[in-house]
Amino acid sequence: MTWIVGAASLFGYGTLISDVQMTWKDGRQADILQKAYPLGRFIVGGFSGSVYIGFRLMDSFRKMLELPLQSSTHAWCPNQAAKEWTQIARAIFESAPDAERKLGARFLIVGISPTDTISETDIPVVQVIRFSSPDFLPGFFRKSMAICNIGSGSKITSYKNSLRPLLDFRTSPVNIEVAGMGWWAKNLAQSMTRAIIENPQSGISRHLNVLAFMRGSILQTNNDEIIFHPNFSSPEVIQMPRLATSYSEFQLMAAATDIESTAASC
């Protein structure tokens, strides 16, 4: 129960956008979970399914991508990293408690190749790769411009349709990107926000985390906004709530509200 979208831009950068809602074991829901993170140089990732397994997968991928200090200018090839990580992810899933495995686990990464470029240009290749329990075999999206969804939002037709205009080569990508690097990602987040507001779904929050990155830099933002309604004197302020960014922090937030943190899902 979540919506995470990973995308490869024609302009050499990637984006990963995720909502922040999770569901407790007793069915209650809360907007308290960050599900998408930078993992290493030019690679970001996000998870859905079991919160416990998701954080373990996130930590393991980040650890695998660590490079010695003397290799600070090097980077993993996303495709190779995905293949190397499969067995690690499978072992993590198999070692998890039954209650967590029943919730499943899905993982999505977006990475920029440190060496490959599009055709005869200098534009880097951006790769979108999806994994699912129990085998975690990587699913590669080969198009130069690709969008992949995971979570329950990926099954909602109106949500998927909201992304299609941003894949139109004739108009959207080029026209939007003229405004500056990252505007395509921001418009993607805006389209997702409108789709969620117009068709709210249990387990999916209207609050979105946005990661947009290229070789050497990353933008982390959200879809906060101020809405001015006709005939109202004060605007409506939409602001991201405090989020758990590790499993230990998630457990503390659960304990503070006297809720059992095990078998929580997103």
Considering the entire predicted model, what is its pTM?
0.91
Nearest Cα residue to 79 out of 38, 120, 137, 37: 137
pLDDT at 147: 87
pLDDT at 168: 63
Judged by DSSP in three states, 1 sits in: coil
pLDDT at 71: 58
pLDDT at 175: 54
pLDDT at 162: 87
Backbone torsions φ then ψ of 99, nearest 5 degrees = -60, -30
Q: Quote the CA–CA distance of 204 and 21 in Å, as a whole number.
A: 6
Stated length of the chain? 266
The full set of domains in the chain, from first to last, is 4-256 (3.60.20.10)
77 Cβ neighbours under 8 A, 6+ residues apart = 111, 113, 114, 115, 116
Q: Which amino acid is at 26?
A: D
Full pLDDT tens readout for the chain, 266 residues:
899 999 987 778 889 999 999 999 999 999 999 999 999 889 999 999 999 999 999 999 999 998 775 556 678 899 999 999 999 999 999 999 999 999 999 999 999 988 888 877 888 889 999 999 999 999 998 776 788 999 999 999 999 888 887 766 555 554 555 555 567 788 889 999 999 999 999 999 999 999 998 887 888 999 998 888 787 778 888 899 999 999 999 999 998 888 889 999 99
Residues facing 7 on adjacent strands = 15, 147
Judged by DSSP in three states, 91 sits in: helix
Task: Please answer whether residues 250 and 7 qualify as being in contact, where contact means their C-beta atoms are separated by less than 8 angstroms.
Answer: no
